[in-house]
Amino acid sequence: MAPHVRVLNYEATELVDPYVRYLDYFEAYIYTPEEYRRDRNEFNWDSAAIEVSYKAAQRHFSAIARDQNEILTRRHDVAIFEGCVKQFLHLDTFKLSFHETQHEKYFWFANRVFIDWKDSFSLHLETMMKALRSAQVQGFSIQTIEVYGFYAGLGKNHTDLLALASECLMGISKIKLVDSFSLLHFLAGIHLESLQQIDLVNCGLIVSDLDKFIQRQKVSLKTVRLERVLVYGGAGPLSPHLRVLESALSQLSYSHRGLLSSREITMEILI
């Protein structure tokens, strides 16, 4: 099977607060017994929720936190990802997917135990970048990067990650962002010298962010695909590359104080 694998998908989940492992901390700062009793009364219609005892909930997330802490302390995630790559000789696509894997009976308070998404999402992105760099060093020609469900904003403090992305994405010819519009702003901060196509799917989009990205990549970029995108306008004139988008939007939306109404659009822009 390995010789036929072309896409490697790294599925990432939210990281659990490592201090959840300590019952005193859990009771004081994560989920107090009083909150648990209140929620049991409010969710008494949900049999999946009320069947979880207070200590069982703490033990569940404690086990997850312990496993995650061991993996991240020794960076087993990077080592395993890098080890997988060399087995697939015809690999050409890396896919990073963020999704929820908690059992339904823990949904009702799972968000309480997660660490800040700015930290967890950027760490998973770093893992993928390092695996990509390893693949390139081993001679693999990875052409496509796909990211699903990345909604964390990356700011100026992520300079190391930006430098890593600049190094690892130099040979990438296609990027697909699904429900991951915030990465467009991040990627506009680097020059992707081989990028020919970017697909933006199922997300909100600020036109000025897209314009900035196109201007940065205009030497190599040939195609921008928008699919099921909610488009918002931005202040100031657009570049010639986006006049076709502006024309399409004028038929779909009304202008109000520099913003366009959020209407879904699917189209292809040739640069």
Per-position pLDDT tens, the chain of length 271: 778 889 988 888 778 899 999 999 999 998 899 988 887 777 664 555 557 788 888 998 999 899 988 888 887 777 887 777 778 888 899 999 986 666 667 766 777 888 766 677 888 888 889 889 888 888 888 999 999 988 777 766 788 999 999 999 999 999 999 999 889 988 988 999 999 999 999 988 887 788 889 889 988 999 989 888 887 765 455 566 666 666 655 544 433 333 344 456 677 777 7
Its pTM stands at 0.79
Q: Which amino acid is at 148?
A: Y
CA-CA distance, 128 to 108, in Å (whole number)?
30
For 103, the 3-state DSSP assignment is coil
In 5-53, which residue ranges form alpha helices assigned H by DSSP?
23-25, 33-42, 47-50
Whole-number CA gyration radius for the chain? 22
Pick the CATH number of 2-14+84-270 from 1.10.3470, 3.80.10, 3.30.200, 1.20.1630: 3.80.10
The CA-CA-CA angle for residues 191, 195, 196, to 5°, reads: 140
β-pairing, 255-256 vs 259-260, is antiparallel
